[in-house]
Chains A and B, each alone.
Chain A
Amino acid sequence: MEQLLDIQGLSVEVLNGGRYYKAVEQVGFQIGKGETVGLVGESGCGKSLTALSIMGLLPETARAGGRVLFRGRDLLSLTEEEKCVFRGRDISIVFQEPMTALNPLVPVGRQIAEAFLLHHTGSRAEAREAAIGMMRQVGLSRAPSLYWEYPHQLSGGMKQRVVICMALINRPALLIADEPTTALDVTIQFQILELIRQLNRTLSATVLFISHDLGVVKEVCSRLLVMYAGLIVEEGGTEDVLRHPMHPYTRQLLASIPTAQNRGRDLYSIPGAVAPLDKRKPDVCPFSDRCAQASAVCFSAAPALRGLNGRRVRCFLAGGEAIERC
């Protein structure tokens, strides 16, 4: 499969109180053309920072290292002008919060048309046609009149469709969806997921889907990356990872999903919390302090991401041989 995005050794450092802390470390993965890849992990594990560094939208207090190759070009080394060209044309992003992702003073249609005009030399009328066409495609009814409406007149689900419209109007090769359904209620969530799946098929868009919700990710993604404390801890096909999770973190994450079987009982939650940036220890397993299976080896060194049965996992205990030891 042709590689569209190839991230190598990406690290993001965040400035906090005059010091830089590593919030994302040694993140490396590939996304093939047409694939839908999920990136999961709890809040604060570096998912969004990874997405923002692909887009070159990191806040001023953060800096990225490593390489982000998109069609062989390193996005991290682009100048500001070059970034303006690829953003929105080659790679687009849908943010989590549709309520605030739209300028309150500009009609929604014109915001979609703006995205079109920034990358096409067309007239305003053409941009309007394109915008209305795209609005129909994402299932917004009465698109021509909706074009002139302001964000406050739209519901949350409609706004998220508008945001998706904006991201897709230039047919980007890669769509990054950063928790696109988190702020929506469950029925709308399902519709948006259905829409992303359908657009992935019809527009053959490659999707990097970021979420903290494994239930959502398994609906749309063929491959899964699990992140913890700025590191990728497990990677593999969605089915494999969900059926046979190798990393204890993934296992516990799965155990925390409410299902019909554990109805009425207390919901399982992973004890503890992700260590804050200044308390992270680089020389032990990052999950060791919350892991039920942690053994001496986990506190002695940091595990590397290693290949195992066609998947990758960052755990000493995975694969059987170490589990017997503990």
Chain B
Amino acid sequence: MIKKAGRNTNFKVGAILLCLFLILLILSLICTPYDPNKMNTQAKFQPPSFQHLLGTDNFGRDIFSRVMKGAQTVCFVGFTSVAIGLAAGFILGAVSGYLGGPADEVIMRLMDAQMAFPGIILALVLITLIGPGSVSTALALGVTAVPRFCRITRACFMQIKELDYIKAAKSRGASVPRLIACHILPNMLSPLIVTATLAFSTAILAEAGLSYLGLGIQPPQPSWGKMLFEAQAYLLTNPWYAFIPGCMITLTVLGFNLLGDGLRDLTDTKTL
């Protein structure tokens, strides 16, 4: 498995990018070079230098510190939304896939209805209803991720519950909760992990988009999407300001996508 991982370029590049992201995140928890929200009107639009590694923005705030702090926001929104989507999607998918029949029909039609609705618009509606902020962004993105997890869980359940070892476990007298926890869930972990990784990158992108539109993370909390929006006005005079958060979003999303693809290739057990 480890040997195979070493040969998989997608997995390797994705893992390296995410390691860099994690280092940035951990460092930001310990300390940042400057207070990310401290304004200094004397030092506006400074180009990258030893003092300010990535320069300063239109309020004279250190961009490097804000990028670091922004990684925390990304992480919070990503994890929370994936957790919400995974939990709700798994429960709905499990009920749907295990019971089948009318319950399956009702749940799947509800999921279809949600999927027919563009995800970002649904998130916009939800945020408008509950008000902007990082928590409501995470919640809204979590809700939009539910159908994805629901469908994959349902498919896995329908496939695995017919297998002989499930029948064998039943014939030993295992109850339904035990069957699910000990025999079905471990055998569907790999598609779930892959989906979660890919959903993480979707969430990052959506959060950046929402913040760019002004509905996601609220200032002065640093967010890469918001930084991109602020930098837009100075694109011609100070291009590096827009370049940095843009790069961060691209590289992080790329990292998660590559890791997800790599994991899918590595855990694909078509031969089993």
Q: Which residues of A contact B (CB under 8 A)?
A: 55, 57, 60, 80-81, 84-89, 92-93, 95, 97, 100-106, 114-115, 118-119, 163, 166-167
A86 and B173 contact, CB distance less than 8 A: yes
User: A103-B182, A106-B186 are known contacts; what are 13 more A-B pairs with Cβ within 8 Å?
Assistant: A55-B171, A57-B171, A84-B173, A86-B173, A92-B172, A97-B164, A100-B164, A101-B164, A101-B165, A102-B165, A104-B165, A106-B182, A163-B168
A163 to B171, CA, bound (A): 11
Contacts of B165 in A (CB 8 A): 100-104
Beta-carbon contacts of B136-169 to A below 8 Å, as 1s and 0s? 0000000000000000000000000001110111
Whole-angstrom CA separation of A100 from B182 in the bound complex? 16
Residues of A within 8 A of B186 (CB): 103, 105-106
Interface residue? B272 (CB, 8 A) = yes
Which residue of A85, A93, A97 is within 8 Å of B171 (Cβ)? A93
- A109, B186: Cα distance in complex, Å: 17
CA distance A100 to B163 in the complex (A): 7
Q: A101-B164, A104-B187 are in contact. Are A88 and B182 (CB under 8 A)?
A: no
Chain B, interface size: which category?
20 to 34
Shortest Cβ distance from A99 into B: residue: B164
Q: Which of B174, B187, B272 contacts A118 (CB 8 A)?
A: B174
- Name the one of A105, A115, A167 contacting B187, with C-beta atoms under 8 angstroms: A105
A residues less than 8 Å from B169 (CB atoms): 103, 114
Tell me which of B100, B173, B183 contacts A103 (CB under 8 A).
B183
Main secondary structure of the interface of B (DSSP, over half): helix
Give per-residue flags for B180-193: 1 if the beta carbon is below 8 A from chain A beta carbons, else 0. 00110011000000
The 12 sampled A-B contact pairs (Cβ below 8 Å) are A84-B175, A87-B171, A88-B173, A92-B171, A100-B165, A101-B165, A101-B168, A102-B168, A103-B182, A104-B165, A115-B172, A166-B168
Complex Cα distance A105/B174, Å?
17
B170 on interface, CB distance cutoff 8 Å:
yes
Distance in Å from the Cβ of B6 to the closest Cβ of chain A? 22
Give A14 to B130 CA distance when docked, in angstroms: 51
Instruction: Kindly name the residue among A89, A105, A167 whose own CB sees the greatest number of chain B CB atoms within 10 A.
Output: A105
Q: Are A85 and B173 in contact (CB under 8 A)?
A: yes
Which residues on B sit within 8 Å (CB–CB) of A80? 176
Whether the pair B173, A57 counts as a contact (CB closer than 8 A) is: no
| Contact between chains at B164 and A95 (CB < 8 Å) | yes
Q: Are B167 and A95 in contact (CB under 8 A)?
A: yes
- How many angstroms from the CA of A104 to the CA of B164 in the assembled complex? 11
User: Which of B169, B178, B183 counts the most A-chain CB atoms under 10 A from its CB?
Assistant: B169
Contact (Cβ within 8 A) A114 B174? yes
For B176, the chain A residues whose CB sits under 8 A away are: 80
Query: Which residues of chain A have C-beta atoms less than 8 A from B163's C-beta?
Result: 100
Q: Which A residue sits closest to B175, measured CB to CB?
A: A84
Please give me the 9 A-B residue pairs with the lowest Cβ-Cβ distance, nearest first. Answer: A88-B173, A88-B172, A100-B164, A87-B173, A115-B172, A101-B168, A103-B165, A105-B186, A101-B164
**Do A87 and B170 have beta carbons less than 8 Å apart?**
yes
Task: Give the docked Cα–Cα distance between A95 and B168 (Å).
Answer: 8
